[in-house]
Amino acid sequence: MKDSIQLVEAYFKDLRDIHQTGGGVKEESYYGSLANLLNSIGKGLKPQVKCIIQLINRGAGHPDGGLFTKEQWDHGNEQTPLLGQVPARGVIEIKPTSDDTWVTAEGEQVSKYWKKYQLVLVTNYRDFVLIGKDQKGSPVKLE
């Protein structure tokens, strides 16, 4: 538990430090901080999960990030990546801190991502909403 608290404290400190420089932009300047947090958490999951920022368009637009499992990057052939993979643990839609994450989660962009990936993490760097599917296969806010 203490490690989790330290991870989150470091994440918010990093966000603050970037903001304090006055040199960042509202959304993209903080991508690295979020990726670091998610990768730190992902190392402790089974299977491990890695956050990749700025995904290729697989027919639903360009998600801000994706969550890939260890099997997707550790397949034994370093010369040939596994092309065409979709992130096994879903995609991420990131908005500036001024955005209302709950409203964004109901928007067209998130709906388009959900239709393709079935799991979308929506965040404004403070609030996190996970859109998955219910027992009938319809979108539902899980967390």
pLDDT band at 84 (very low <50, low <70, confident <90, very high): confident
Each domain of the chain, given as residue ranges in start order, spans 2-141
49-60 mean pLDDT: 92
pLDDT band at 1 (very low <50, low <70, confident <90, very high): low
Which has the higher per-residue pLDDT, 20 or 75? 20
Q: What is the CATH number assigned to the segment(s) 2-141?
A: 3.90.1570
pLDDT tens for 118-137 read: 999 999 999 999 999 999 99
pLDDT band at 74 (very low <50, low <70, confident <90, very high): confident
pLDDT for 135: 94
Average pLDDT of the chain, as a whole number: 92
* DSSP code of residue 87: P
Of residues 67, 66, 59, the one with CA closest to residue 112:
59
What's the pTM value of the predicted model, to 2 decimals?
0.90
Write the CB contacts of 129 (distance below 8 Å, at least 6 apart in sequence). Answer: 101, 102, 104, 105, 121, 122, 123, 141, 143
